[in-house]
Structure 1
Amino acid sequence: MGWSYRKSIKMGPFRLNLSRGGVGHSWGNRLFRVTRNADGRRTLAVNLPGGFHWRKTTSGHS
């Protein structure tokens, strides 16, 4: 297993994610979050009380 790097910087509801693969960002709170990864993938996540969650990831390629 190789080494990896990941650092997350929080600025209110906005989060900047730094990794070896590049820079990504996300916006939201514990219930609803939108994320854009360094490779261009987008993820929409909804987390409900009681352990229910829904997540949808779309490719960054057109």
Structure 2
Amino acid sequence: MGWSYRKSIKAGPFRLNLSRRGVGHSWGNRLFRVTRTADGRRTLSVNLPGGFHWRKTLGGR
């Protein structure tokens, strides 16, 4: 099992994600969030009450 690192810094609706692969960021709230990962992928997430969620990846590496 390898080592990993992940740290998230929140500032209101903006979140900065630090990991071993690099830096990513996201913007939104509990219901709707747009994320840009360290490797360049963009993801839209919609989370509804009751455990329902929808996620779509918009861009590849």
Shorter-chain TM-score range? over 0.9
Q: For 2:34 and 2:59, how far apart are their aligned partners in 1? A: 14
Deviation at 1:13, TM superposition (A): 0.3
Gaps of 5+ in 1: none
Q: What percentage of aligned pairs have identical amino acids? A: 90
Residues 1:10 and 2:10 are matched in the alignment: yes
Task: State the match for 1:51 in structure 2.
Answer: 51
Deviation at 1:25, TM superposition (A): 0.0
Gaps of 5+ in 2: none
Deviations 1:2-37 (A, max 9, x none): 001100000000000000100000000000000000
Q: Secondary structure at the match of 1:54?
A: strand
RMSD: 0.8
| TM-score of the pair, normalised by structure 2 | 0.93
Alignment: residue pair count: 60
